[in-house]
Protein backbone atom coordinates (compact mmCIF):
# COMPACT_ATOMS: atom_id res chain seq x y z
CA UNK A 1 0.00 0.00 0.00
CA UNK A 2 2.87 2.39 0.80
CA UNK A 3 4.26 1.78 -2.69
CA UNK A 4 0.90 2.80 -4.18
CA UNK A 5 0.93 6.10 -2.27
CA UNK A 6 4.48 6.83 -3.43
CA UNK A 7 3.59 6.10 -7.05
CA UNK A 8 0.48 8.25 -6.81
CA UNK A 9 2.45 11.14 -5.32
CA UNK A 10 5.05 10.79 -8.08
CA UNK A 11 2.36 10.96 -10.76
CA UNK A 12 2.91 7.34 -11.81
CA UNK A 13 -0.58 6.19 -10.76
CA UNK A 14 -4.08 7.65 -10.91
CA UNK A 15 -7.56 6.94 -9.56
CA UNK A 16 -10.61 6.57 -11.81
CA UNK A 17 -14.15 6.15 -10.46
CA UNK A 18 -16.43 4.43 -12.94
CA UNK A 19 -18.00 1.06 -13.82
CA UNK A 20 -16.53 -1.61 -16.08
CA UNK A 21 -18.43 -1.97 -19.33
CA UNK A 22 -16.33 -4.84 -20.69
CA UNK A 23 -12.93 -6.43 -20.80
CA UNK A 24 -10.86 -5.84 -23.93
CA UNK A 25 -7.75 -7.47 -25.36
CA UNK A 26 -5.57 -4.84 -23.73
CA UNK A 27 -7.47 -4.05 -20.50
CA UNK A 28 -10.92 -2.73 -19.66
CA UNK A 29 -13.41 -0.32 -21.20
CA UNK A 30 -15.42 1.80 -18.76
CA UNK A 31 -19.05 2.85 -19.15
CA UNK A 32 -17.83 6.38 -19.79
CA UNK A 33 -16.06 5.06 -22.89
CA UNK A 34 -12.57 5.44 -21.49
CA UNK A 35 -10.20 2.52 -22.04
CA UNK A 36 -7.59 1.57 -19.45
CA UNK A 37 -4.74 -0.68 -20.53
CA UNK A 38 -3.78 -3.27 -17.95
CA UNK A 39 -1.56 -6.33 -17.73
CA UNK A 40 -3.38 -7.60 -14.62
CA UNK A 41 -6.91 -6.79 -13.36
CA UNK A 42 -7.57 -7.48 -9.67
CA UNK A 43 -11.26 -7.45 -8.80
CA UNK A 44 -12.41 -6.07 -5.46
CA UNK A 45 -16.18 -5.99 -5.59
CA UNK A 46 -16.87 -5.32 -1.93
CA UNK A 47 -18.69 -7.42 0.64
CA UNK A 48 -22.16 -8.11 1.96
CA UNK A 49 -23.20 -6.91 5.40
CA UNK A 50 -23.49 -9.48 8.16
CA UNK A 51 -26.47 -7.93 9.93
CA UNK A 52 -26.46 -8.74 13.66
CA UNK A 53 -23.54 -11.07 13.00
CA UNK A 54 -25.90 -13.51 11.23
CA UNK A 55 -27.21 -14.55 14.65
CA UNK A 56 -30.80 -15.73 14.40
CA UNK A 57 -32.60 -13.97 17.25
CA UNK A 58 -36.01 -15.02 18.47
CA UNK A 59 -38.44 -13.25 20.81
CA UNK A 60 -41.06 -15.34 22.61
CA UNK A 61 -40.13 -18.25 20.31
CA UNK A 62 -40.79 -16.15 17.19
CA UNK A 63 -37.92 -15.32 14.79
CA UNK A 64 -36.90 -11.69 14.80
CA UNK A 65 -37.35 -10.07 11.40
CA UNK A 66 -34.98 -7.15 11.86
CA UNK A 67 -36.14 -5.35 8.74
CA UNK A 68 -39.64 -5.00 10.18
CA UNK A 69 -38.40 -2.99 13.16
CA UNK A 70 -38.12 0.80 13.30
CA UNK A 71 -35.01 2.30 14.77
CA UNK A 72 -35.03 4.59 17.78
CA UNK A 73 -32.16 7.05 17.18
CA UNK A 74 -30.16 4.36 15.39
CA UNK A 75 -29.53 2.34 18.54
CA UNK A 76 -32.76 0.66 19.74
CA UNK A 77 -35.58 -1.00 17.83
CA UNK A 78 -39.33 -1.38 18.13
CA UNK A 79 -40.37 -4.87 19.12
CA UNK A 80 -36.89 -5.75 20.42
CA UNK A 81 -36.56 -5.57 24.23
CA UNK A 82 -33.38 -4.94 26.21
CA UNK A 83 -31.11 -4.40 23.23
CA UNK A 84 -28.96 -1.44 22.25
CA UNK A 85 -27.06 -1.60 18.98
CA UNK A 86 -23.87 0.34 18.58
CA UNK A 87 -23.82 1.85 15.12
CA UNK A 88 -21.29 4.62 14.65
CA UNK A 89 -20.97 7.56 12.29
CA UNK A 90 -20.19 7.33 8.60
CA UNK A 91 -18.38 10.68 8.48
CA UNK A 92 -16.86 10.89 11.96
CA UNK A 93 -14.86 8.54 14.12
CA UNK A 94 -16.93 5.43 14.93
CA UNK A 95 -15.84 5.58 18.57
CA UNK A 96 -17.40 9.01 19.08
CA UNK A 97 -20.83 7.45 18.95
CA UNK A 98 -19.66 4.46 20.98
CA UNK A 99 -18.92 6.86 23.84
CA UNK A 100 -22.27 8.63 23.50
CA UNK A 101 -24.26 5.38 23.44
CA UNK A 102 -22.19 3.90 26.27
CA UNK A 103 -23.06 6.86 28.49
CA UNK A 104 -26.72 6.55 27.51
CA UNK A 105 -26.79 2.84 28.35
CA UNK A 106 -25.27 3.45 31.80
CA UNK A 107 -27.84 6.14 32.52
CA UNK A 108 -30.64 3.90 31.24
CA UNK A 109 -29.57 0.90 33.37
CA UNK A 110 -29.40 3.07 36.49
CA UNK A 111 -32.86 4.43 35.69
CA UNK A 112 -34.23 0.90 35.25
CA UNK A 113 -32.71 -0.11 38.58
CA UNK A 114 -34.42 2.81 40.31
CA UNK A 115 -37.76 1.84 38.75
CA UNK A 116 -37.24 -1.89 39.42
CA UNK A 117 -37.80 -2.42 35.71
CA UNK A 118 -36.55 -5.60 34.08
CA UNK A 119 -37.28 -4.74 30.46
CA UNK A 120 -37.34 -1.73 28.20
CA UNK A 121 -38.39 -1.41 24.59
CA UNK A 122 -39.04 1.60 22.36
CA UNK A 123 -42.54 1.84 20.94
CA UNK A 124 -44.31 4.10 18.49
CA UNK A 125 -46.49 6.75 20.08
CA UNK A 126 -49.98 7.43 18.81
CA UNK A 127 -48.61 10.44 16.94
CA UNK A 128 -46.02 8.23 15.21
CA UNK A 129 -48.34 5.58 13.82
CA UNK A 130 -48.84 7.18 10.40
CA UNK A 131 -45.37 8.64 9.88
CA UNK A 132 -43.58 7.92 6.63
CA UNK A 133 -41.01 5.13 6.80
CA UNK A 134 -37.80 4.99 4.76
CA UNK A 135 -34.74 2.74 4.47
CA UNK A 136 -32.12 2.78 7.24
CA UNK A 137 -29.87 5.22 5.37
CA UNK A 138 -30.71 7.87 2.81
CA UNK A 139 -28.86 6.87 -0.39
CA UNK A 140 -28.33 10.57 -1.09
CA UNK A 141 -26.16 10.82 2.04
CA UNK A 142 -24.31 7.50 2.08
CA UNK A 143 -24.50 4.91 -0.66
CA UNK A 144 -21.64 2.39 -0.77
CA UNK A 145 -22.48 -0.79 -2.65
CA UNK A 146 -22.31 -3.05 0.40
CA UNK A 147 -24.96 -0.92 2.15
CA UNK A 148 -27.24 -0.53 -0.86
CA UNK A 149 -27.22 -4.32 -1.34
CA UNK A 150 -28.33 -4.88 2.26
CA UNK A 151 -30.80 -2.06 2.96
CA UNK A 152 -33.68 -4.54 2.75
CA UNK A 153 -32.21 -6.39 5.76
CA UNK A 154 -31.94 -3.34 8.02
CA UNK A 155 -34.60 -1.65 10.17
CA UNK A 156 -36.62 1.25 8.86
CA UNK A 157 -36.35 4.89 9.91
CA UNK A 158 -39.17 7.37 10.40
CA UNK A 159 -39.57 11.02 9.53
CA UNK A 160 -39.24 12.28 13.13
CA UNK A 161 -35.99 12.93 15.04
CA UNK A 162 -36.58 10.11 17.53
CA UNK A 163 -36.84 7.57 14.74
CA UNK A 164 -33.73 8.48 12.78
CA UNK A 165 -29.96 8.06 12.95
CA UNK A 166 -28.92 11.66 12.30
CA UNK A 167 -25.17 11.15 11.64
CA UNK A 168 -24.72 14.47 13.47
CA UNK A 169 -22.18 14.14 16.28
CA UNK A 170 -22.54 17.71 17.56
CA UNK A 171 -26.31 17.33 17.83
CA UNK A 172 -26.28 13.89 19.45
CA UNK A 173 -23.47 14.71 21.86
CA UNK A 174 -25.62 17.49 23.31
CA UNK A 175 -28.95 15.64 22.97
CA UNK A 176 -28.32 12.13 24.31
CA UNK A 177 -27.58 13.21 27.91
CA UNK A 178 -30.91 15.05 27.96
CA UNK A 179 -33.13 12.25 26.61
CA UNK A 180 -36.13 11.87 28.92
CA UNK A 181 -36.05 8.22 30.00
CA UNK A 182 -39.68 8.46 31.12
CA UNK A 183 -40.87 9.64 27.72
CA UNK A 184 -43.79 7.62 26.40
CA UNK A 185 -41.55 6.31 23.64
CA UNK A 186 -40.05 3.95 26.25
CA UNK A 187 -42.10 1.00 27.43
CA UNK A 188 -40.93 -0.55 30.70
CA UNK A 189 -41.90 -3.92 32.11
CA UNK A 190 -41.47 -5.15 35.66
CA UNK A 191 -42.03 -8.91 35.55
CA UNK A 192 -39.37 -11.12 37.18
CA UNK A 193 -36.66 -12.28 34.83
CA UNK A 194 -36.46 -15.97 33.98
CA UNK A 195 -33.07 -17.36 35.09
CA UNK A 196 -30.83 -18.26 32.18
CA UNK A 197 -28.92 -21.45 32.80
CA UNK A 198 -26.90 -21.56 29.61
CA UNK A 199 -26.53 -19.78 26.31
CA UNK A 200 -24.89 -21.55 23.41
CA UNK A 201 -23.86 -19.96 20.14
CA UNK A 202 -23.58 -22.66 17.51
CA UNK A 203 -22.18 -22.42 14.01
CA UNK A 204 -21.85 -25.27 11.60
CA UNK A 205 -18.44 -24.67 10.08
CA UNK A 206 -19.05 -27.25 7.39
CA UNK A 207 -22.20 -25.61 6.00
CA UNK A 208 -21.49 -22.05 7.21
CA UNK A 209 -25.00 -21.84 8.61
CA UNK A 210 -25.83 -18.67 10.57
CA UNK A 211 -25.30 -18.57 14.30
CA UNK A 212 -28.27 -19.41 16.49
CA UNK A 213 -28.85 -18.53 20.11
CA UNK A 214 -30.25 -21.32 22.26
CA UNK A 215 -31.39 -20.67 25.82
- 8-state DSSP, 95: H
What sections of the chain are H helices per DSSP?
2-9, 94-115, 145-148, 169-175
Give the model's pLDDT for residue 54.
81
Distance CA 139, CA 75 (A): 19
Q: How far is CA 34 from the centre of its chain?
A: 36
Instruction: Give dist(CA 108, CA 69) in Å, integer.
Output: 21
CB 82 within 8 Å of CB 109: no
Counted residue by residue, the chain has a size of 215
- Boundaries of every domain in the chain: 2-37, 51-202
DSSP letters of 137-186? S-TTT---HHHHTTGGGSPBB-SSGGGS----HHHHHHHGGG--TTSTTE
Note the pLDDT of residue 78.
Answer: 96
Nearest CA to 185 out of 122, 109, 129 is that of 122
pLDDT of residue 121: 96
Contacts of 20 (CB under 8 A, 6+ apart): 28, 29, 30, 31
Integer angstrom CA distances of residue 178 from 23, 43, 108, 165: 56, 47, 12, 17
What is the reported pLDDT for 215? 38
pTM, 2 dp:
0.73
* pLDDT tens across the length of the chain (215 residues): 556 778 878 888 888 888 889 999 999 999 999 999 998 988 776 788 888 888 888 888 899 999 999 999 999 999 999 999 998 888 888 899 999 999 999 999 999 999 999 999 999 999 999 999 999 988 887 888 888 888 999 999 999 999 998 889 999 999 999 999 999 999 999 987 666 544 444 555 555 555 554 43
Amino acid sequence: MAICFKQYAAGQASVVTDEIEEFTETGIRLKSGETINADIVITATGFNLSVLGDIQFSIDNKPLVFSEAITYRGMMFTGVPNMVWLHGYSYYSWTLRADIIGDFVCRLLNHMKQKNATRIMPKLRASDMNMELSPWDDPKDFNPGYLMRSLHLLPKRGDKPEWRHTQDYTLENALFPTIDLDDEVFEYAFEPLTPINEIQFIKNDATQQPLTAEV
